[in-house]
Structure 1
């Protein structure tokens, strides 16, 4: 059994983002332009973006999920996200990985998203 399939207690379930990278805020803003067609809130504020990792060479790796595995746009959403981020100045390439673990929950939404959807 590898360490990956049996995480050490205390290891975060979601890999940390490169929040100190100079392009991080621009990447977040680009993520906020992508919407789930069934929900009037962008995917970033919905909590669907787990990790934004930016290498020193400005290669972006985004780990995301969807609200449910049966989401009708499951095959398209990663491409929409890559298309939103890739044109940013300075970005070399974008890789979007779709994961189901940990599963998305309503507690991952931002306060703005909860307010928009009437949950606050």
Structure 2
């Protein structure tokens, strides 16, 4: 349900949220009215009665009167199946493709925010994935949120013991770093 706004509905219970674009963690209270404006990557972007945008984790779908997002349910099933086989960097890349900017319905990979993804085998045999990524603007308040999302998505990949995500600003991000598909979708081609 990407991009289709729902009706304003009261929350059935308290749930954690993150303000967009500031990235501040807040708690939305039971009874607060919200409208789902975007559902991507297993999370929801909602608009409150006061017009604020908030991001709500897909695991809190019930508070919004929604089902667990299909993307999230599919990911849980896929990860369970992958856990039976060998590790693959392809799984890490797919996980990062499922991390979306809450304001623009585009993955951080397609936006060109991910600069480096590297597998490192530690001395104790554990696997760490190191990621360098950036934001569209140095002052973006969603930096901690999106790097946290990338870390969480990567650490959920079977065979990954830890992820280290570093926010970098060199080279500076530019619209030329977006995939052609995203440029076309956003009317930049």
Q: State TM-score, norm by structure 1.
A: 0.77
- Offset of residue 23 of structure 1: 2.1
Once residues 55 and 113 of structure 1 are traced to their aligned partners in structure 2, the CA distance between those partners, rounded to angstroms, is 31
SS of corresponding position for 2:163: strand
> Where do residues 28-47 of structure 1 align in structure 2 (5 Å cutoff)?
28-47=93-112
Is 1:25 aligned to 2:94, yes or no? Answer: no
- The root-mean-square deviation of aligned C-alpha atoms, in Å, is 1.3
> Where do residues 104-115 of structure 1 align in structure 2 (5 Å cutoff)?
104-115=173-184
Once residues 110 and 24 of structure 1 are traced to their aligned partners in structure 2, the CA distance between those partners, rounded to angstroms, is 20
Please, which runs of 5 or more residues in structure 2 have no aligned partner? 1-86
Q: 2:156 aligns with which of 87, 95, 101?
A: 87
State the number of aligned residues. 99
Is 1:61 aligned to 2:130, yes or no? Answer: yes
Please, which runs of 5 or more residues in structure 1 have no aligned partner? 1-21
- Offset of residue 75 of structure 1: 2.1
Q: Looking at secondary structure, tell me which structure has more strand per residue.
A: 2
Q: Looking at secondary structure, tell me which structure has more helix per residue.
A: 2
- Would you say the 8 A contact 1:41–1:116 is kept in 2? no
Once residues 25 and 45 of structure 1 are traced to their aligned partners in structure 2, the CA distance between those partners, rounded to angstroms, is 15
SS of corresponding position for 1:67: coil
State which drifts further: 102-111 or 22-31. Answer: 22-31
